[in-house]
Chain A
Amino acid sequence: MAMPRRLADNDVVLKTTGITKIFGGLRAVSDFDLSVHKGEILSLIGPNGAGKTTVFNVVTGIYSPEHGDVVFLGKKITGRKPHSIVSSGIARTFQNIRLFPDMTCLENIMAGQHCRARSGIFSSVFRTPAMRREEERIRTVAEQRIAQVELAPFAHELAKNIAYGSQRMLEIARALATEPRLLVLDEPSSGLNPKETQDLMSFLKRLIASEDLTILLIEHDMNVVMGISDWVVVMDEGKKIAEGIPDAIYNNPDVIEAYLGRDEGEA
């Protein structure tokens, strides 16, 4: 798995060119380029405040960038609304889990299928055969996804009542229910115990092996980064400072400096 597999340029799934996001006087992300290749797990790392989550929010349409473009599967998606980016095939999770707490686990996942369904107001009120078929399909997908993350016993439990680690997996299952081509995970291992982290890693490995999927993740846990990434991109102060295969990054002096600080003198 540690074998580098950066493929040819025409296999690029997601490409950002020169994205810049400014908050007031702060350049949270500045002139940032990123290419994510088909079928790989790419980790975006960097110290706190480096702008990783901002990059995610730009890619998923929560922010629109001041400059630069986001191209996904050959189409420009810069500045599109989050829901339309989800329909185009990018699904995400959040650093601090954001489920629909007072809905059941199954309903949470069914919500993911929303963008793949089209029943309107009249077919929903009158429960037309087409609408019933679609509901059936939504439920089937949701049941498969909940089984995949091994939460089927909690299907009818409210999302807020299940354990923290399970909530993380539920959020991933909800993202997967949108039938994404690119899965964007913001610190999926945060708050998980070592056993759960291990399970998450093997889950992601199985996922990438079994589905037509690419994964982009922000991660702080170096064991996870080194263990599952095909490619690592390092950010600091809104800029990309290094990228490469995990082993190369691990020993890169710039990266070590960004995490541990510089030698004496230059502030």
Chain B
Amino acid sequence: MGNGKSAGLSKLFTTTPWYVPVLFSALVVIYPFFATDYFIDIAFFFGIYALLGLSLNIVLGEVGLFDLGHAGFYAIGAYVTAILNTRYQIPILALLPVSALAAGLFAYLVCSPIIHLKGDYLCIVTIGMGEIVRLALINNPFDLTGGPNGVFGVDFPKLSPNLVIDSSIEYYFLVWAVVGLSILGLISLQHSRIGRAWNCIREDTVAAGATGINVRHYKLLAFVLGAGLAGVAGNIYASKLMCVSPESFTFWESCLMFCIVLIGGMGSIPGVLIGAAFISLFPEIFRPFAMYRMLVFGSVMIVMMMVRPGGFWPRKRGGVAFRSLLEDTGNGNA
């Protein structure tokens, strides 16, 4: 498609020069020292959405599986943290991996029987899955989830008895540290046989199988990892809000995560950050026009999909440096 001029234009969006992540990290680090608590909290939720976007990006972006029930995994992580912390006083940070494992295990059990479904069929089943989780939470099974009111009194994360994460700025750094580590891990995965296998399945499932990729295994792995990361987001969210309730995990949340991945560009990590920024910051920026902000939000999304259907920052491929052989042929068409 893109030759000549248009290739030059799209290059602007698809290449990631080294200073972009450096500047972005620097901005993340210094931002809270110049912002009020209110704006730090907005950036905290930007971080939560970034984490959720990254988690759905594994399933939707890398493997192309339509998952519109991702809020279900997020809810499992949040509730596991809230319940185990309030009942057994297990520290929040110790529950971080527990939430991830619980959400991952849940994804494994629920997705195993449905993993062979394609496209829209999988989409509908995952919507059902997300709704079942939410309805189950409302119905207060075994008196654990507190019904529509949810669970109250979730503790602060404690690094040590004296080092308690309880202010906005500390939560901000907690979530962005987790986002940073997740990004590093996910970039590694993108450039591994696992990341390639995921992309192959997205591109052509039959060909992936015929190329020796265990399609079922890698689809399930994506769901488990994606759910685990959503569980991590749930853990941080639960302790930040100090309470969890079913209304935080509605179908709308799943839709927002879906939008984050689509806006940014499927399978693109910088894209997820842009999508999450859009989802979390846009409603704040347009708060003065409260009545119309959802109208503008919707319109922007429509225009966005018409103008850049591949997302705002699609992933650029071909990061592996090609040595020897290309040099002989004169590096060709770079």
Whether A22 sits at the interface, judged by CB under 8 Å, is no
Whether A29 sits at the interface, judged by CB under 8 Å, is no
A111 with B317, Cβ < 8 A, contacts A119-B192, A126-B188, A155-B322 known? no
A156 with B213, Cβ < 8 A, contacts A100-B207, A107-B196, A114-B197 known? no
Bound complex: CA A116 to CA B129 (Å):
36
A121 with B317, Cβ < 8 A, contacts A98-B207, A100-B199, A110-B196 known? no
Is A117 touching B203 in the complex (CB atoms < 8 A)?
no
Whether B113 sits at the interface, judged by CB under 8 Å, is no
Query: Which residues of B sit under 8 angstroms from A106, Cβ to Cβ?
Result: 318, 320, 322
Is A174 touching B211 in the complex (CB atoms < 8 A)?
yes
Query: Which residues of B sit under 8 angstroms from A113, Cβ to Cβ?
Result: 193
Query: Which residues of B sit under 8 angstroms from A121, Cβ to Cβ?
Result: 189, 194, 221, 225
Of residues 191 through 240 on chain B, the ones whose CB sits less than 8 Å from some CB of chain A are 191-197, 199-200, 203-204, 206-216, 221, 225
Bound complex: CA A17 to CA B206 (Å):
25
Whether A82 sits at the interface, judged by CB under 8 Å, is yes
Whether B8 sits at the interface, judged by CB under 8 Å, is no
By CB atoms of chain A within 10 A, which of B194, B206, B216 has the most?
Answer: B194
Query: Which residues of A sit under 8 angstroms from B207, Cβ to Cβ?
Result: 94, 98-100
- Tell which of B208, B212, B320 touches A178, judged by Cβ atoms closer than 8 Å: B212
Give min CB distance, A158 to chain B, whole Å.
Answer: 7
Bound complex: CA A120 to CA B192 (Å):
9
Give min CB distance, A176 to chain B, whole Å.
Answer: 11
Of residues 124 through 172 on chain A, the ones whose CB sits less than 8 Å from some CB of chain B are 124-127, 131, 134-135, 138-139, 143, 146-147, 152-158, 161
Decide if the interface of chain B is mainly helix, strand, loop or mixed.
helix
Is A99 touching B204 in the complex (CB atoms < 8 A)?
yes
Whether A204 sits at the interface, judged by CB under 8 Å, is no
Query: Which residues of B sit under 8 angstroms from A74, Cβ to Cβ?
Result: none
Whether B333 sits at the interface, judged by CB under 8 Å, is yes
Is A83 touching B214 in the complex (CB atoms < 8 A)?
yes
Query: Which residues of B sit under 8 angstroms from A161, Cβ to Cβ?
Result: 1
Decide if the interface of chain A is mainly helix, strand, loop or mixed.
helix
Query: Which residues of B sit under 8 angstroms from A101, Cβ to Cβ?
Result: 203-204
Bound complex: CA A155 to CA B326 (Å):
8
Is A156 touching B193 in the complex (CB atoms < 8 A)?
no
Is A111 touching B325 in the complex (CB atoms < 8 A)?
no
Bound complex: CA A4 to CA B320 (Å):
45
- Chain B interface residue count: which class? 35 or more
By CB atoms of chain A within 10 A, which of B191, B204, B326, B334 has the most?
Answer: B326
Whether A115 sits at the interface, judged by CB under 8 Å, is yes
- B74-101: CB near A (< 8 Å → 1, else 0) gives 0000000000000000000000000000
Question: Nearest CB to that of B327 among chain A residues?
Answer: A152
- Tell which of A62, A82, A124, A146 touches B189, judged by Cβ atoms closer than 8 Å: A124
Give min CB distance, B244 to chain A, whole Å.
Answer: 28
Give min CB distance, A7 to chain B, whole Å.
Answer: 28
Is B192 touching A135 in the complex (CB atoms < 8 A)?
yes
Is A107 touching B317 in the complex (CB atoms < 8 A)?
yes
Bound complex: CA A151 to CA B332 (Å):
11
Question: Nearest CB to that of B334 among chain A residues?
Answer: A156
Question: Nearest CB to that of B215 among chain A residues?
Answer: A83
Of residues 81 through 115 on chain A, the ones whose CB sits less than 8 Å from some CB of chain B are 81-84, 86-87, 91-92, 94, 98-104, 106-107, 110-115
Is A104 touching B206 in the complex (CB atoms < 8 A)?
no
- Tell which of A61, A94, A152, A178 touches B326, judged by Cβ atoms closer than 8 Å: A152
Is B189 touching A158 in the complex (CB atoms < 8 A)?
no
Is A115 touching B212 in the complex (CB atoms < 8 A)?
yes
Bound complex: CA A107 to CA B334 (Å):
17
- B286-312: CB near A (< 8 Å → 1, else 0) gives 000000000000000000000000000
Whether B141 sits at the interface, judged by CB under 8 Å, is no
Whether A60 sits at the interface, judged by CB under 8 Å, is yes
Give min CB distance, B50 to chain A, whole Å.
Answer: 18
Is B212 touching A114 in the complex (CB atoms < 8 A)?
yes
Query: Which residues of B sit under 8 angstroms from A116, Cβ to Cβ?
Result: 212
Bound complex: CA A166 to CA B248 (Å):
51
Bound complex: CA A101 to CA B200 (Å):
9
Whether B17 sits at the interface, judged by CB under 8 Å, is no
Is A87 touching B322 in the complex (CB atoms < 8 A)?
no
Is B193 touching A114 in the complex (CB atoms < 8 A)?
yes
Question: Nearest CB to that of B314 among chain A residues?
Answer: A102
A100 with B200, Cβ < 8 A, contacts A94-B207, A121-B225 known? yes
A112 with B211, Cβ < 8 A, contacts A103-B200, A152-B325 known? yes
A103 with B325, Cβ < 8 A, contacts A126-B188, A153-B332 known? no
Question: Nearest CB to that of B217 among chain A residues?
Answer: A83
- B228-261: CB near A (< 8 Å → 1, else 0) gives 0000000000000000000000000000000000
* A and B contact pairs by CB, cutoff 8 A, 7 listed: A62-B206, A86-B210, A86-B212, A94-B207, A104-B317, A114-B211, A121-B189
Using a CB–CB distance below 8 Å, which chain A residues touch chain B?
A: 60-62, 81-84, 86-87, 91-92, 94, 98-104, 106-107, 110-117, 119-121, 124-127, 131, 134-135, 138-139, 143, 146-147, 152-158, 161, 174-175, 178
A-B contacts besides A81-B216, A86-B212, 14 pairs, CB < 8 Å: A60-B210, A81-B214, A83-B212, A86-B210, A91-B210, A106-B320, A110-B196, A112-B211, A114-B200, A135-B193, A153-B326, A154-B332, A156-B317, A161-B1
